[in-house]
Amino acid sequence: MKIRHLILLALFLIISEPAHCNENGKAYQIRLDKEGWGNGSPNDIEAVLYSACDSIHEHFAPLKENEPIRVIRDKSGPITLFQRNLRGEIIVKINTGDRYWCQYSYQIAHEFCHILCRFRNGSRRNLWFEESLCEMASMFALRSMEETWKTAPPYPNWKSYSALIRDYVKDLENKHALPEKLSLADYYSMHSEKFEKDPVNRSMNGKIAGALLIAFETNPEHWPSILYINKGKAKEDISFSEYLKNWLNQAPKKHHIFIHSLARQFGISL
């Protein structure tokens, strides 16, 4: 996988102007630190980050995110910090470099989802669900990019890279698949206590993410529902069913059927 990755990346050394590069036209802004990315060009990296975030953000119209996001490379990432910098920017740390575009996309989509969820501090009891949604966002973004890059990648000569994205996504899908004959409700019931104690267990979060992905791909108009997930009593020490009820109560009515359907996948009736 890595060898093929490097071979394909070597094909993209000739750089042209990105097809969508008009940051002033964006509702949100990615401000990339220019140092620390190895042999990855900052212009190329920005193009990849926007491609990943746009694949999710396009479903938020007319509710457009309007935040400045400072992206830096740091071994402590990927992580989105609660405290902004002195410029009022949200700080996102990612831990990749060079031309590993799939890794950039995976990490930034996850952190962008936290931003869209209006992440805030508080009880970590139900944080596993937001973490799972953000893992799902990474898969959603990459699957979207796999298709869009076939015809409209950031650079015209990157079209063949969609095949590598496809392979990367397939690896994720296999890794995140629920055990055979086990429903999401069964999996949650078996591991609910573990989720509450360890909300950032990537392997377990991935199983939830893989199961929820189809709901967001078939109903992308409900992506904006996550804007309300951390409102109200969400960060209090409440049960998962109460957490979902709070989300339902905070979200506009147009998202209620969707939230009910997600709750039913966990075996919960709201």
- What's CA 20's distance to the chain center, in Å? 21
Give residues with Cβ within 8 angstroms of 88, minimum separation 6: 68
The answer as to whether 122 is a domain residue is: no
- What is the per-residue pLDDT for 167? 97
Label residue 96 by pLDDT band (50, 70, 90): very high
User: Averaged over 36-49, what is the pLDDT?
Assistant: 96
User: Averaged over 115-119, what is the pLDDT?
Assistant: 95
Quick: pLDDT tens for 185-224.
Answer: 999 999 999 999 999 999 999 999 999 999 999 999 999 9
CA 103 → CA 29, 142, 263, 268, 269, distances in Å?
Answer: 20, 10, 30, 34, 37
Among 116, 141, 161, residue at a domain's last position: 116
Above 80 in pLDDT, residue 22? no
* Percent of the chain residues past pLDDT 90, beyond the cut: 86
User: Averaged over 155-162, what is the pLDDT?
Assistant: 95
Above 90 in pLDDT, residue 241? yes
Quick count: other Cβ atoms within 10 Å of Cβ 89?
A: 15
36 and 112 in a single domain? The answer is yes
Our count of domains for the chain comes to 2
- What is the per-residue pLDDT for 62? 81
| Start-to-end C-alpha separation, the chain | 44
- What is the per-residue pLDDT for 27? 80
255 and 133 in a single domain? The answer is yes
Domain of residue 29 covers: 2-116
131 and 160 in a single domain? The answer is yes
- Measuring CA to CA, which residue among 122, 159, 117 is closest to residue 136? 117
Above 90 in pLDDT, residue 130? yes
Report yes or no: 130 and 228 within 8 Å, Cβ to Cβ. no
Above 80 in pLDDT, residue 23? no
Report yes or no: 210 and 46 within 8 Å, Cβ to Cβ. no
The answer as to whether 185 is a domain residue is: yes
Among 116, 145, 165, residue at a domain's last position: 116
- What is the per-residue pLDDT for 25? 56
Give residues with Cβ within 8 angstroms of 268, minimum separation 6: 240, 241, 244
Above 60 in pLDDT, residue 5? no
The answer as to whether 71 is a domain residue is: yes
- Measuring CA to CA, which residue among 67, 55, 121, 122 is closest to residue 92? 67
- What is the per-residue pLDDT for 236? 97
